[in-house]
């Protein structure tokens, strides 16, 4: 089986811009989770999608949003970027039991 793919791998944006990140889960997996990882805050849960519906949500402002398509691919969007949004954004493809298979991540730098 192909693994989890995330695009792009690296991204540089300026404050105030918006960004869209993409994640393709493992074939057959219907659940996708997103995380933000920073040195200061560690791994923070953003949201989880299952069959195109948001099933869980973390404590992030409304500038962070996501969606899932019928083929289980997922996107997350961050609007009005702030310097503090610089982070590694990780996507995970989830089994029904909760095991997560992570993609390589997207490194976002906000200048």
Partner 1 sequence: SQQGEEDPQALSIQEGENATMNCSYKTSINNLQWYRQNSGRGLVHLILIRSNEREKHSGRLRVTLDTSKKSSSLLITASRAADTASYFCATGGGGYQKVTFGTGTKLQVIP
Helix/strand/coil for 84: helix
Which is nearer to partner 1, 11 or 88 (by Cβ)? 88
Calpha distance 47→10 (Å, rounded): 21
Instruction: Give the closest residue to 70 by CA, choosing from 87, 95, 48, 53.
Output: 53
From 19, 74, 103, 110, residue interacting with partner 1 (rule: CB under 8 A): 103
Of 77, 51, 50, whose CA–CA distance to 63 is shortest? 77
State which of residues 13, 45, 65, 79 lies at the interface with partner 1 (CB under 8 A): 45
Site residues for partner 1, 21-40, by CB under 8 A, read 33, 35
Give 87's contacts (C-beta < 8 A, 6+ positions apart). 36, 37, 38, 108
Residue 53 Cβ vs partner 1, minimum distance, rounded to whole Å: 11
74 binds partner 1 (CB under 8 A): no
Binding site for partner 1 (CB under 8 A): 4, 33, 35, 42-43, 45, 48, 55-56, 58, 88, 90, 92, 94-105, 107
């Amino acid at each position: 089986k192909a693994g989890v793919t995330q695009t792009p791998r690296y991204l540089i944006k300026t404050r105030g811009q918006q960004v869209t990140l993409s994640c393709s889960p493992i074939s057959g997996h219907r659940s996708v989770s997103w995380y933000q990882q920073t040195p200061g805050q560690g791994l923070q849960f953003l949201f989880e999608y299952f069959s195109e519906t948001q099933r869980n949500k973390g404590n992030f402002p409304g500038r962070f949003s996501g969606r899932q398509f019928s083929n289980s691919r997922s996107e997350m969007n961050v609007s009005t970027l702030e310097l503090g949004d610089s982070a590694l954004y990780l996507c995970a493809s989830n089994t029904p039991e909760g095991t997560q298979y992570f993609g390589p991540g997207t490194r976002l730098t906000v200048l």
